[in-house]
């Protein structure tokens, strides 16, 4: 089943000049394994290609259930140079959470945030 990335993870992002850093944090260990399998640097580069992302790099932080991405050039010059309305990296995380990924139906409940 295709689900929004935001259904199984949350994000933190920020700008670094013309690029952005993006952390995708899984709610559960099972969710992290799904992210490791499906959320590749190539998948992120393709998703952010309309914004100019190139040479995306992915770093794994398994003890925190985080995949950290570096997205060079995604901010079109950065806050002081870009003509975009929002050329800062804080919105990149929210954009990423709208990405859809394929998750086996039986794993979805194990990947979602626990509710109290």
Please tell me the predicted confidence (pLDDT) of residue 89: 60
Fold observed for domain 2-76+85-102: Alpha-Beta Plaits (3.30.70)
Model's pTM, two decimal places?
A: 0.87
- Pairwise CA distance, residues 79 & 22, whole Å: 17
Tens digit of each residue's pLDDT (9 = 90 or more) over 37-56? 999 999 999 999 988 888 99
Domain ranges of the chain: 2-76+85-102
Task: Encode pLDDT of 90-99 as tens digits.
Answer: 688 899 999 9
**Which residues are 85's β-sheet partners?**
none
Q: Supply the DSSP string of 67-95, one letter for each residue.
A: EEEEETTTTTT-TTT--SS--SGGGHHHH
């Amino acid at each position: 089943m295709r689900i929004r990335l935001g259904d199984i993870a949350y994000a933190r992002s920020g700008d670094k000049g013309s690029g952005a850093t993006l952390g995708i944090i899984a709610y559960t260990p099972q969710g992290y394994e799904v992210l490791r399998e499906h959320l590749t640097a190539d998948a992120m580069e393709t998703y952010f290609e309309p914004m100019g992302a190139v040479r995306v790099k992915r770093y794994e932080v398994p003890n925190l259930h985080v995949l950290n991405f570096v997205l060079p050039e995604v901010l079109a010059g950065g806050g002081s140079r870009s003509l975009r309305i929002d050329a800062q990296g804080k919105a990149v995380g929210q954009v990423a959470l709208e990405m859809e990924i394929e998750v086996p139906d039986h794993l979805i409940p194990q990947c979602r945030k626990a509710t109290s």
